[in-house]
Structure 1
Amino acid sequence: MAHRIVTQVFVTGARVFGRAFAEAYKQASASQKYAQAMQNNPTAANTLSASGLTLDEACRILNVSPPKGGTADLTRVHDQFKRLFDMNDPKKGGSFYLQSKVLRARERIELEVRQAAEAREREEELRDGWKPRVYRDR
């Protein structure tokens, strides 16, 4: 009788672990395929991986025009951000989800402007040559 109980426990445990292992393998395989697809997808570069917002979505959320040539009216972006962020404050009956979307939209636009400014600086440096800043003690 005891050997039957031990066998049942062993078989049941083996089934549970087998199913868990198979499920984990399927999930890892799907994750790997997804990561490969995102790497090969050219539109994946247009999104901010942390928030998944495109620049167009961010501009629509804050109701501002997209940055032209890498420059944007950041004062308007910040004014819209403050207004919408305060309007969606959960303490005042707003939505935390909308508040976080507004925050991510501002971050996305600022990221785009910052990347464009860095690219402009690199272009200027390549065009004008590297001019290191030398600090001398007097």
Structure 2
Amino acid sequence: MAAKFIANLIVMGSSILARAFVQAYRQALANASKSGVAQEAAQNIIRTGKLMTETEARQILGVTENSTWDEILQKYDNLFERNAKNGSFYLQSKIQRAKECLEAVHQAKEQGTK
């Protein structure tokens, strides 16, 4: 009899907590939209989605404006492999994005000279 009472108490208590959690979450969303936090978060997502600049890409790979495409690829390979062994995925992705950015710049320069 006591086990049944305890089981009922646990089930009722967990349902009350679940309802309270849902209500608190809704209130938090309402407060965030009133204070503009939700809009600021959305703007931050948009800002971080922007492409890398050529200057930033050159700084990441450690190349200058006068570097040839072969030098850029050599730096990229070196940094990418070094990070693959004992680096971070974040740094590897930054190195990859830098190469992609400079590749687009290089292709645009090649098409401009042709």
**Normalized against structure 1, the TM-score is what?**
0.45
Once the two structures are TM-superposed, the CA of residue 85 in structure 1 deviates from its matched residue by 1.8
Ranked by relative contact order (alpha carbons within 8 Å, sequence separation 6 or more), the top structure is 2
Task: Choose 74-83 or 26-35, whichever is displaced more.
Answer: 26-35
Q: 1:22 to 1:80 in 2, by over 3 A?
A: same
Q: Is the 8 A contact 1:89 1:96 kept in 2?
A: yes
> Which residue pairs with 1:33 in the alignment?
40
- 1:62 Cα deviation (Å)? 0.3
Separation in structure 2 between the aligned mates of residue 46 and residue 64 of structure 1, nearest angstrom: 24
Q: Which residue of 2 aligns with 1:18?
A: 20
Structure 2 unaligned regions, length at least 5? none
1:16-95 equivalences under 5 Å are 16-20=18-22, 22-23=24-25, 26=28, 29=33, 30-36=37-43, 44=47, 47-48=50-51, 53-65=52-64, 73-90=68-85, 94-95=86-87
Aligned-residue Cα RMSD (Å) equals 4.3
Which amino acid in structure 2 is aligned with residue 47 of structure 1? K
TM-score normalised by L of structure 2: 0.52
- Structure in which a larger fraction of residues adopt helix: 2
Count of equivalent residues: 102
Q: Percent identity of the aligned residues?
A: 26
Unpaired stretches in structure 1, ≥5 consecutive residues: 122-138
